[in-house]
Structure 1
Amino acid sequence: MAGRFELYKDKAGEFRFRLKAGNGEIILTSEGYKQRASAVKGIESVKKNSASEARFEKKASGADKFMFNLKASNGQVVGSSQSYKTESGRDNGVQSVMKNAADAKVEDQTA
């Protein structure tokens, strides 16, 4: 099963998206956007920038806390991962985003 983006509205009324792998696991989440169109542009940015491993900022924050951010060419973060227990888990997450994002369909849950 292919990955997919879910476009949704959060409790504060902001638009967000998340990228899910084929198994349904969330592998990337966005910040909140005031406008739906901005969130859609964020999805397009993830699709474009996820092709380059250099766009991923890999981070370690203390013991058993690894995560990554995906950045656009201007350096702005367009998506962040969950927290992983291991460095290899985080790196597998990066590979999953690279594999799933480009061809992922968008499921619009805002209608």
Structure 2
Amino acid sequence: MKRGPVTAGKFELFDDAAGKFRWRLKAGNGEIIAQSQAYESKESAKKGISSVQTNAPGATLVDLTTK
């Protein structure tokens, strides 16, 4: 089975309804897979994106569920 090219995910920076800045991470298929808290400044939101880009590649799963 031949597959088409894999499309990379992307971060989108946007204004929320309260006028704050947020980002969301979309998978290559367009599905939102993560979304940020609200930031007061665009620069802070960009720093949040940078932090995820730096820290997430080796992130582990910590399961805190009780069931």
State whether structure 2 residue 56 is matched by structure 1 residue 50. Answer: yes
Question: Which has the larger helix fraction?
Answer: 1
SS at match of 1:43: helix
Percent pairwise identity: 49
Q: Which has the higher contact order (CA 8 A, sep 6+)?
A: 1
Output the CA distance in 1 between the equivalents of 2:27 and 2:66: 24
Residues 13 and 3 of structure 1, relative CA distance in 2, 3 Å threshold: same
Gaps of 5+ in 2: 1-6
Structure 1 match to 2:21: 15
Output the CA distance in 2 between the equivalents of 1:14 and 1:61: 34
| Aligned counterpart in structure 2 of residue 35 of structure 1, from 34, 41, 55 | 41
Provide the aligned C-alpha RMSD in A: 1.7
Gaps of 5+ in 1: 63-111
Structure 2-normalised TM-score?
A: 0.80
Larger radius of gyration, structure 1 or 2? 2
Deviation of the 1:52 alpha carbon: 1.4
Output the CA distance in 2 between the equivalents of 1:17 and 1:51: 18
SS at match of 2:38: coil
Structure 1-normalised TM-score?
A: 0.50
Residues 37 and 57 of structure 1, relative CA distance in 2, 3 Å threshold: farther
Deviation of the 1:51 alpha carbon: 1.1
Structure 1 match to 2:65: 60
Question: Which has the larger strand fraction?
Answer: 1
Code of the aligned partner of 1:21: A
Number of aligned pairs? 61
